[in-house]
Structure 1
Amino acid sequence: MNAIRGFLRRSLEKHPLITNSVIYGTLCTAAELSQQTLTKKVLNEVPRPIECDIVCRYSFYGTFVGGPVLSVWYRFLDKMCPGTAPKILVKKLLVDQFVFTPQLLVLFYITMSILERKQDLLEECKYKFSKTFQTSCLFWIPAQTVNFALIPSVYRVTYISCCSFAWINILCWLKREESSIEQ
């Protein structure tokens, strides 16, 4: 276990963008796979093969969009607001949740719409954004409090990736909800 931790730390220090992107992409993929499995078991759907095209979309998003964006964002946020004093912590939480997160959610829905080859790239985002953002606040504000108060900056995206495993399961579920425009 120490060897894995050492390897991870060296990778994060030497190649943070690549390492964070691979970690985030892997956890996005795992979250979508677990979401498909849970959906089938909880809803007692007829067993069918894993929907690989959906898994590939989440893999792409996590590795090439979400992971790099998060890696750059947290590096930037730590430089702009260094420290863990309560005042700094609140500032980071507010900026992260109310400035960055809305943009990230829009990016998620647009990226998925592009990968799904939808005609109107904003349609699903317009319909689902509000509920997704509200759910995000309930999930991420406590998670980010721990992140900014206790997690060393080198491990921030890894911590976020681990939290994201749960969050992406929620996001997958929100994305799967039928909208009035899809009916």
Structure 2
Amino acid sequence: MIPLLRNVLRKSPYLTSVGLYTTLYTGADVCHQLWHFHFIEKTTHQHSTFSLDLGRTARMSFIGFACLGNFNYMWIPFLERLFPGATVRKTLAKVLVDQVIAAPILITAFYVGLRTLERKPDVFAVVREKFVDTYLTGMMFWPAAQTINFYLLPLQYRVIFLGVCSFTWANVMCFMKARAEQKLLESNAGNQQD
């Protein structure tokens, strides 16, 4: 399996990157929908059978492909050119630049991208609602993941490692977005009653 992965990475690193992000974001959305059904809907008896929202899954797949896979395919080599090598100092510089520049861009792209694809009226509503919480939550996850990535892994495996970490992070983002959407719905319902 490992030799096959190396061969695919060597022959087509771009397709590997965007394919991985597309697949992992698709999987993260399916996991979130299953979790929501089993622990929220099923316990409140709203639905008796699980039905996958394919439109939602397709939107997450598109965000994984269009935003994250493409961005990281270019971003990780850029950071390596900016701070070549894997010394402690250069690793910390990469992590810092990643958290200051890439994290805000990707959080915004995720929330705005999904709301745009959902054809919601105010595409920045969830960004305003959840950006700070998402960024602070990410600060508990991404610096450690990126330190491992930049310090221990060869360049050709970094986008793949980030993709695997992104599967976990995509699940976190799904939960945060769902909570923000629920809060926006409750806020709008309260405003309409007034």
TM range (shorter): over 0.9
Letter in 2 for 1:182: L
- How big is each residue's C-alpha offset from its partner over 1:62-108, in whole Å with a ceiling of 9 and x where there is no partner? 12221011111001111111111111011011000111111111111
1:43 CA drift (Å)? 2.3
Q: Which residue of 2 aligns with 1:75?
A: 77
Does structure 1 retain, via aligned residues, the 8 Å contact 2:17–2:70?
yes
Identity %: 33
Deviation at 1:143, TM superposition (A): 0.9
Q: In the alignment, which residue of structure 2 is the partner of 1:88?
A: 90
Decide which of 19, 22, 30 is 1:22's aligned counterpart: 19
2:4 to 7, 12, 16: 7
Specify the alignment match of 1:157 in structure 2.
159
- Say if 1:127 and 1:115 are closer, same or farther in 2 by CA, change over 3 A: same
- Give deviations 1:109-131, integer Å, cap 9, x for gaps: 11111100112221211111111
Instruction: Please list, as runs of the form range in 1=range in 2, the aligned pairs for 1:21-60 lying within 5 A after superposition.
Output: 21-45=18-42, 46=47, 47-60=49-62
1:106 paired to 2:103: no
Runs of 4+ more than 4 Å apart: none
RMSD, aligned CA: 1.4
Q: Is the 8 A contact 1:17 1:72 kept in 2?
A: no
Per-residue deviation, 1:44: 5.0
Query: How far 1:14 sits from its partner (Å)?
Result: 2.7
Partner of 1:128: 130
Secondary structure of 1:118's counterpart equals coil
For 2:77 and 2:106, how far apart are their aligned partners in 1?
16
- The answer to whether the 8 A contact 2:129-2:180 is kept is no
Residue equivalent to 1:177: 179
2: CA distance between counterparts of 1:154 and 1:178? 36
TM-score (norm 2): 0.88
Write the distance in 1 (CA, Å) between the matches of 2:35 and 2:163. 20
- Specify the code of the residue in structure 1 equivalent to 2:78: F
**Bigger Rg, structure 1 or 2:** 2
Letter in 2 for 1:145: T
